């Protein structure tokens, strides 16, 4: 796959305080994003994720470093023509309807009038808002505003889409709807740069990730390479056995609703536990191996920093 975004040695600092002192926000960021992938840019609040995006988009200028989009300078018009952007806190004029809002942004792209209506209908359908085409944005829910913002980011049919915390503040249904749209964009061959601190969503849809802590990337690569496949703990849900029968095993367990959740940390002990359950005429309801998660990796990386 071709590289669509390359960042090399990016530094950025700002002057802060009454007596200005320079505070370093980005400290030598380097990464590459390949075409057709969903790239997760992960970090806690204040790590520098939005600052990175603003530098890439040319909204602010780095102190040092190189940024290329599709092999060209990120400031070139040819590069900008191929990108879309949804900021973390977008502002929309409340009294425009969804149709009017997208029509305004379509005009900015100099789209042909005969194509505009079809384009807007297609985007509203993509983000699941065709039923709200005539509804004013002030009557939209937070999830609907995120989806119309995503439609705006796609109005110029970009090849590379930057999304800054698109899942923040959404309920589980709203997050799923946005995730589905992002996965659909990948299916169409587009590249998505997803900046977020929501670990579960990053883990569910991203091909590769970079973890940013205090302005530095401390880990990056394909998820399957970063996360260990080794089983950390095996969870066994059982019933028909009293807690006193488990004490000799020295494992962690908790009882709720007539069932016991037993956590076995040593794989070689699983056979022993299952044999004991069988001899006591107990019942096994589930056996679930738990491997390392992105949350484990992230928390470990932050603690090491």
Q: Is the pTM of this model over 0.85?
A: no
User: Is the Cβ–Cβ distance between 81 and 74 less than 8 Å?
Assistant: no
Contact 135, 97 (CB under 8 A): yes
Give the tens place of pLDDT for each residue, 165-203: 888 777 888 888 888 889 999 999 999 999 988 777 788
The stretch 57-73 carries a mean pLDDT of: 93
pLDDT 10s digits, 12-47: 998 877 777 888 999 999 999 999 999 999 888 888
pLDDT above 90 (res 10):
yes
Contact 132, 144 (CB under 8 A): yes
**pLDDT tier for residue 237 given thresholds of 50, 70 and 90:** confident
Structure tokens at 134: 């005539």
Let me know: does 73 contact 79? Beta carbons within 8 Å.
Answer: yes
User: Which residue reads 């899942």 in tokens?
Assistant: 167
pLDDT of 266 > 80? The answer is no
Q: Residue 246, SS3? A: coil
In the numeric block, which tokens belong to residue 215? 């302005």
Going by C-alpha positions, the residue among 131, 134, 128 that lies closest to residue 148 is 128
Q: Pairing mode, if any, of strands 21-34 and 208-213?
A: unpaired
Output the CA torsion 120→126→132→138 (10° steps).
-90
Give the chain's domains with CATH numbers. Answer: 3-226 (3.40.50.300), 231-296 (3.30.70)
Copy the structure tokens of residue 23.
């505070």
Segment 95-136, tens digit of pLDDT: 999 999 999 988 888 777 778 888 899 999 988 899 999 999
Task: Report residue 97 as tokens.
Answer: 């309807």
Q: Tokens representing 201?
A: 């969503």
């Amino acid at each position: 796959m071709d590289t669509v975004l390359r960042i090399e040695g990016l530094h950025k600092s700002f002057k802060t305080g009454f007596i200005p002192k320079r505070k370093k926000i980005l400290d030598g960021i380097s990464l590459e994003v390949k075409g057709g992938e969903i790239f997760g840019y992960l970090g806690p609040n204040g790590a520098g994720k939005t600052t990175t995006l603003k530098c890439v988009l040319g909204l602010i200028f780095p102190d040092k470093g190189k940024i290329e989009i599709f092999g060209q300078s990120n400031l070139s018009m040819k590069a900008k023509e191929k990108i879309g952007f949804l900021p973390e806190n977008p502002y929309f004029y409340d009294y425009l309807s969804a149709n009017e809002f997208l029509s305004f942004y379509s005009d900015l792209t100099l789209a042909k009038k005969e194509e505009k209506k079809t384009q807007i209908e297609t985007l509203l359908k993509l983000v699941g808002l065709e039923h709200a085409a005539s509804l004013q944005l002030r009557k939209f829910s937070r999830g609907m505003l995120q989806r119309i913002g995503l439609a705006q980011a796609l109005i110029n049919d970009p090849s590379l889409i930057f999304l800054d915390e698109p899942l923040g503040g959404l309920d589980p249904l709203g997050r799923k709807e946005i995730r589905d749209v992002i996965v659909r964009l990948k299916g169409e061959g587009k590249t998505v740069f997803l900046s977020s601190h929501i670990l579960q969503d990053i883990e569910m849809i991203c091909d590769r990730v970079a973890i940013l802590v205090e302005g530095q990337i401390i880990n990056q690569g394909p998820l399957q390479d970063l996360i260990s496949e080794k089983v950390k703990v095996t969870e066994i849900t059982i019933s028909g056995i009293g807690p006193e029968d488990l004490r000799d095993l020295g494992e962690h367990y908790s009882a709720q609703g007539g069932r016991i959740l037993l956590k076995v940390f040593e794989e070689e002990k699983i056979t022993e536990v299952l044999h004991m359950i069988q001899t006591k005429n107990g019942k096994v309801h589930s056996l679930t191996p738990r491997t390392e998660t992105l949350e484990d990796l992230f928390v470990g990386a932050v603690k090491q920093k």
